[in-house]
Amino acid sequence: MPLQEELEEQGQWLFKYRGVIPVFIFVIGFGLYVYMKYNPDKFYFEETDFENVWFYLCFGISLFGLLIRVITIGATPPNTSGRNTKEQVADTLNTKGLYSIVRHPLYLGNFFMWLGPAMLLENFWFLIAFVFLFMLYYERIMFAEEQFLRRKFGERYLNWATRTPAFFPSFKNFEKTQLIFCWKKVLKNEKTGIMLLFVVFAVMHVTGQLIQKKGSYDFLIIGLGIVSILYYVVVKIISKQTNLLNVAHR
């Protein structure tokens, strides 16, 4: 099989299972986190005045990534940006808003969302491996998506891709979107990402406290984790049984 078709096929497969494969990375990362908590003397910030500062810095980086995803999803037309898991979907080509400064804002958001937990481990080699695997993983997904968009939108796609970088934003060509921001679309489509982010940090915080037997629990982090689970369940039920979160043409 020619390399171009092979890369596209790999990208399509990774796109289909992109919500499952990162679980294995999290399992490895969680194991390293447990090791760090059992061996705090081997890590720079553990049991120092900067331990909590580092935790919230990493949490803030993840929130920044979530914000990128929220802005992207809330300002796009239907059947374009979202959590399509089975196949590529693009009724229209997004070229305004965040899509005018970077071709893959959702994946940029993903990077920062999961960079936070990776940094929290204070393990340089795991962080390097995370960045490398993320780029390798999403490079193929982005390649498959762009092949799909190129075939569907032709010259219009090529003109947009020529002036817009794939992953590292360039603000010189920013164009404001004409769509009104849609919170209902965000609440419905981003429930999984919101829940996972808060639950991951809550679980890691509680695990660390239990291992080190400090008992100084941060109930804000724990509360956000619990609320995010309730939010996911409620939105799931509402989405399945009502049309409350449906918005015409969004």
Domains of the chain in start order, with CATH, are 3-179 (1.20.120)
CA Rg value for the chain:
20
Q: What is the mean pLDDT of residues 105-118?
A: 95
Instruction: Supply the pLDDT for residue 121.
Output: 94
Task: Read off the pLDDT band of 80 (50, 70, 90).
Answer: low
Q: Torsion-angle region of residue 128: left (phi > 0), alpha (psi -120 to 50) or beta? A: alpha
Instruction: Supply the pLDDT for residue 35.
Output: 94
pLDDT tens readout for residues 119-176:
999 999 999 999 998 988 888 888 888 888 888 899 999 999 999 999 999 999 899 9
39-48, 49-58, 200-209, 218-227: range with lowest mean pLDDT? 39-48
Buried b or exposed e, range 15-25, using 16+ CB within 10 angstroms: bbebeeebeeb
Percentage of the chain with pLDDT > 70?
89
Instruction: Supply the pLDDT for residue 91.
Output: 65
Instruction: Supply the pLDDT for residue 1.
Output: 54
175, β-bridge pairs: 97
Tell me if 164 sits within 8 A of 170, measured CB to CB.
yes
Instruction: Supply the pLDDT for residue 16.
Output: 73
pLDDT tens readout for residues 202-244:
999 999 999 988 778 999 999 999 999 999 999 999 999 998 8
Instruction: Supply the pLDDT for residue 85.
Output: 47
Who wins on pLDDT, 102 or 133?
102
